[in-house]
């Protein structure tokens, strides 16, 4: 399932280049072009779901695999400490409406974020 107008669907399909760092049966992880930390990778489900809530309802296994993939990416990059961010909705900062998990590491991350 995909949306032909969706940037991340097009990256998953290989139509738009990205620096892919990890691929699983359900996920693709690639470097964010607007990195906010030395490690800033986006983990997306291969299937199109608009946000984290839609993914959790539609494919709970893929939802869990996002986190498993994020942990594998952080470990492969040499980080034990990292932040995971899911923005759901424009008011929370979501700008691409295809579920994506941000993996951030490599600098002090303050709280609260944003």
98 tagged catalytic: no
Structural domains in the chain?
Answer: 7-105 (3.30.428.10)
Query: Where are the extended beta strands (E) located within the chain?
Result: 20-23, 27-31, 39-45, 83-86, 101-105
pLDDT in tens, 61-75: 999 999 999 999 999
State the pLDDT confidence band at 1, using cuts at 50, 70 and 90: low
- For residues 35-50, average pLDDT: 97
Predicted structure pTM score: 0.94
Q: Which of 40, 48, 100, 102 is catalytic?
A: 100
**H helix intervals, the chain:** 7-12, 52-58, 60-76
On the question of a cis peptide bond just before residue 94, with omega within 30 degrees of 0, the verdict is no
């Amino acid at each position: 399932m995909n949306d032909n107008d969706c940037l991340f669907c097009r990256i998953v399909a290989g139509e738009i280049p990205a620096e892919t760092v990890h691929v699983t049966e359900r996920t693709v992880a690639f470097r964010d072009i607007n990195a906010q930390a030395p490690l800033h990778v986006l983990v997306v489900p291969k299937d199109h779901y608009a946000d984290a809530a839609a993914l959790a309802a539609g494919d709970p296994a893929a939802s869990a695999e996002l986190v498993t993939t994020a942990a594998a990416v952080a470990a492969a990059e040499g980080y034990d400490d990292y932040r995971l961010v899911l923005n759901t909705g424009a008011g929370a900062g979501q700008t691409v409406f295809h579920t994506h998990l941000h993996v951030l590491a490599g600098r002090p991350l303050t709280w609260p974020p944003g």
